[in-house]
Amino acid sequence: MEVGESKKLPFNVPGKYFTTELCDGCAYCAAVAPENFDFEKTSNTYFVAHQPRGMEEEEFLQEAMDDCPVDAIRVEGQLQPQAEP
């Protein structure tokens, strides 16, 4: 599936949030939302292993998405990263 200039990684669980092949494995997202991201070592990428379960996890995931250095975290239905407020 094409997502803007990048492709959704196949490891993501189905749902609202996902990572793309832009991910460079920096691990920031897993530090911010450890319950939601996991590492795939053969590709050196992080993926969404659990969609947020509740508002707190949703906020952590949003924070990871906002601060991902390469804009690799996306929301279904949005081709581009969310604009800054």
Q: Residues interacting with ligand SF4, by CB under 6 A?
A: 19, 23-29, 46, 64, 68-70, 72-73
Indicate the residue among 20 and 53 with the shorter CB distance to ligand SF4. 20
What is the smallest separation between the CB atom of 5 and ligand SF4, expressed in angstroms?
A: 14
CB of 36 to ligand SF4, least distance (A): 10
> In the chain, which residue ranges form alpha helices assigned H by DSSP?
28-32, 55-67
Q: How many CA atoms lie within 13 A of 72 on its CB side?
A: 22
| Alpha-carbon radius of gyration of the chain | 11
Whole-number minimum distance, CB 31 to ligand SF4, in Å?
Answer: 8
CB 65 within 8 A of CB 82: yes
